[in-house]
Amino acid sequence: MVRLPLTPAEVERGQRLGALLRRARGHRSMLEVALDARVSPETLRKIESGRVATPAFPTIAAIADVLGLSLDAVWAEISGPERHAGQSAAVPDRGAQLPA
């Protein structure tokens, strides 16, 4: 089966998804989140970097669950209107307030 190239909109959604997951992960290590979600750290790294713009639904559901994100919030973030860098509807910038 030949996979069609991604559209610019799909690439943009993948980048938004990656940015959302990075923000939600906060100070937790990529390894910790990946293991808790039962995905490989490499998979999480590729999603966060936007290299995998259309990850499988179960993968995103597992990562979102570990990060405490609802799937509705994830969808709203990646499909909503363009935001300025650093703005997020789904994850407030919690900075150092995240638990260790």
Domain spans of the chain, in order of start: 8-79
Tell me if 16 sits within 8 A of 77, measured CB to CB. Answer: yes
pLDDT value of position 84: 43
**Segments of the chain with pLDDT less than 70:** 81-100
Return phi, psi of residue 93, to 5°.
-75, 105
Q: Which overall architecture, per CATH, does domain 8-79 show?
A: Orthogonal Bundle (1.10)
Given this model, what pLDDT does residue 81 score? Answer: 66
Are 37 and 66 within 8 A, CB to CB?
yes
pLDDT value, residue 53:
85
Total-model pTM:
0.76
pLDDT at 93: 45
